[in-house]
Amino acid sequence: MRSVISIILLFAFSSAFAQEQAPKLDTGDTAWMIVATAFVMLMTLPGLAISYGGMAKRKDTLNTIAMSFVSYCLVSILWIIYGYSLTFGQDVAGLIGSPSKVFLNGVDVKSLQGTIPEFIFAMFQLTFGAITVALISGSFVERMKFSAWLLFVFLWFSLVYVPVAHWVWGNGFWAKLGALDFAGGTVVHINAGIAGLVGALVLGRRKEKTLIPNNLPMVVIGAGLLWFGWFGFNAGSAVASNELAAIAFLNTNTATAIAALSWMFAEWLHAKKPTVLGLASGAIAGLVAITPAAGFVNVLGAIVIGFLSGIASYFMVAVVKHKFGYDDALDVFGIHGIAGMLGAILTGIFADPSVNPAGKGLIYGNSAQVLIQLLAVGITIIYDAVMTFLILVVIKGLVGLRVSPEEEIVGLDKSQHGESSYNLG
């Protein structure tokens, strides 16, 4: 009898423990993640769109904005059809997710991802894919056919973004290796930067390759919206309204502010003038660099990362780019690629286990983390560069990549869309 009672009590205890451990919806986390998702969407539309549009020539403003706009639209559909499943579905050999959730199959209003509805988690991750593809357009502006861009978005998102995102966030080999990327330094920024560089080399130089923003206030407003939206990007990657989101929020602002200043002073010393475009560019460099580290480092780490990213990105844009002569029109590689690499590697140095037990860097006794970060960054660069090149070769064979010289001189607003950005009197 005693043994029977013991079994009953054990069963009751086990059932109660299982219920306690079962995922449970948290309305506070859910509310925060809805807001964070809207923040990240704002980064693409209108943040990136008007920032890039303001930097392009007046005759190419609308086309530049349209590239970001259509990227968001296309990725929104592709993500639902197969992107979410292949990124976050059950891992297959460390390389890709299973197709079990195509068209969000099996996801309903009661499905949870941690403490939030899975629908919200899927939507949050969608916005990351959209801005990654849109970022690349900055390297291609003023010379790429709109039809070629549509094909590029489809192919690059499917063959580059989705696999790399799975490697890092979908329990792929990156995650199993122990590499750290809190909010997308590699998935988003190194990916976009390398694709932008390869595309700029394949497309070749523009006929008029100067960068004189047609509307600098638009650029600054766009950069401000990106800064604002980035709080959702980084703090939202905690996927909860908690202390990790709080430190990611603070680190994001700190690194961004000091990067804007370090770029400004570097430019002031080198070019003798502190430009407003430089301030905005430095802020973006800081946002990029702190992205992989936001939920792993303390505030001192954020300061160092921000300071170095502003200087490194300025040097790449103002010196190296001009020395080698490649036409990365809006400096996607110089800012996103370089700051993304720097941030990913420095995460391996400054990751503080008292901030996040999941990360322990070099200065806290784990020298191997730097090597892991370097390996993961290197693999991503090689895969991205090779795949981007092949994708561009295929598109060139199908529809061609560049507009004609005459269309480029007229401007892509007229030649690709039959419209004009500024219809003044």
Look at residue 104 in the predicted model and tell me its pLDDT.
97
Long-range contacts of 86-90 (CB under 8 A, 24+ apart): 86/162, 86/163, 86/166, 87/125, 87/162, 87/165, 87/166, 87/169, 87/170, 88/122, 88/125, 88/166, 88/169, 88/170, 89/170
Identify the pLDDT of residue 15.
Answer: 45
pLDDT at 94: 94
Contact yes or no for 309/284 (Cβ under 8 A): no
Q: Indicate whether 347 belongs to any domain.
A: yes
| pLDDT at position 12 | 46
At 424 the three-state DSSP class reads: coil
> Does any domain span residue 90?
yes
CA atoms within 13 A on the CB side of 42: 19
Q: Which of 290, 284, 213 is nearest to 251 (CA)?
A: 290
- For the domain that residue 319 is a member of, what is the CATH number? 1.10.3430.10
Is residue 16 situated within a structural domain?
Answer: no
pLDDT value, residue 423: 80
Provide the domain limits for residue 331. 26-412
Give CA separation, 125 vs 128, 257, 340, in Å.
5, 26, 19
Question: Could you tell me the two tokens for 53?
Answer: 């549009």
Number of domains the chain contains: 1
Look at the block and give the residue holding tokens 């992989």.
Answer: 292
Q: Is residue 109 within a helix (H) or strand (E), and if so which, with residue range?
A: none
Amino acid 19: pLDDT: 46
Q: Mean pLDDT in runs of 10 for the chain (425 residues)?
A: 47 45 88 98 97 96 98 98 98 96 96 97 98 98 98 98 97 93 96 98 92 93 98 98 98 98 98 97 98 98 98 97 94 98 98 97 97 96 98 98 96 95 74
Radius of gyration for the chain, computed over Cα atoms and rounded to the nearest angstrom = 22
* Entry pTM: 0.93
Q: What share of the chain is helix, strand, coil (3-state, %, to 5)?
A: 75, 0, 25
Q: Does any domain span residue 5?
A: no
Q: Is 402 inside any structural domain?
A: yes
pLDDT at residue 21, as a whole number: 61
Helices (H), 22-106: 27-42, 49-55, 61-78, 84-88
Residue 378 lies in a domain: yes
> Does residue 422 lie in a domain region?
no
In a domain, 59, yes or no: yes
Determine the pLDDT at residue 59. Answer: 95
